[in-house]
Amino acid sequence: MNQREEHALIALAAAARRNAHAPYSGFPVGAAVVADDDRAFFGCNVENASLGLTLCAERAAIAAAVASGARRIGAVVVVTGSDKPPWPCGACLQWLAEFGDARTLVIAASVSGMVRRAELRDLIKEPFELMSTPCAGQG
């Protein structure tokens, strides 16, 4: 991903962040993903009073990509208001492992301009993989 593409993806995630529904945490998050066919998709966090039902921005963006037919994610950008932007949570990393690969680019950016970059393999060492089991393919 070149610098122009990265800036465009950060801007898309920042715009999605403005639509976040975060009345409980006060921590709006926006995300954008790029599919392997270069289409971009975005999402924001959507909190719920039953906090376990909250949808993270990264998973919202991935779901939008999948709903549009994308099956592989090459990069994700997450934008927060933190001075040092956090990496995606474990659940989001697992979703990225499902639709990306070890070299999927993960960018954490702040609205103040700090940008951190890593490959997925540096953030989740051994993602869960459903191996062939006696029940696989049944039901």
| Residue-wise DSSP of 35-79 | ETTS-EEEEE-B--SSGGG-B-HHHHHHHHHHHTT---EEEEEEE
Based on the residue annotation, tell me whether 58 is a catalytic residue of this protein: yes
Say how far residue 6 (Cα) sits from the centre of its chain: 14
> Do the Cβ atoms of 108 and 78 come closer than 8 Å?
yes
Q: State the catalytic residue, choosing from 5, 47, 58, 129.
A: 58
Q: What amino acid occupies position 30?
A: G
Which residues are known catalytic residues? Answer: 58
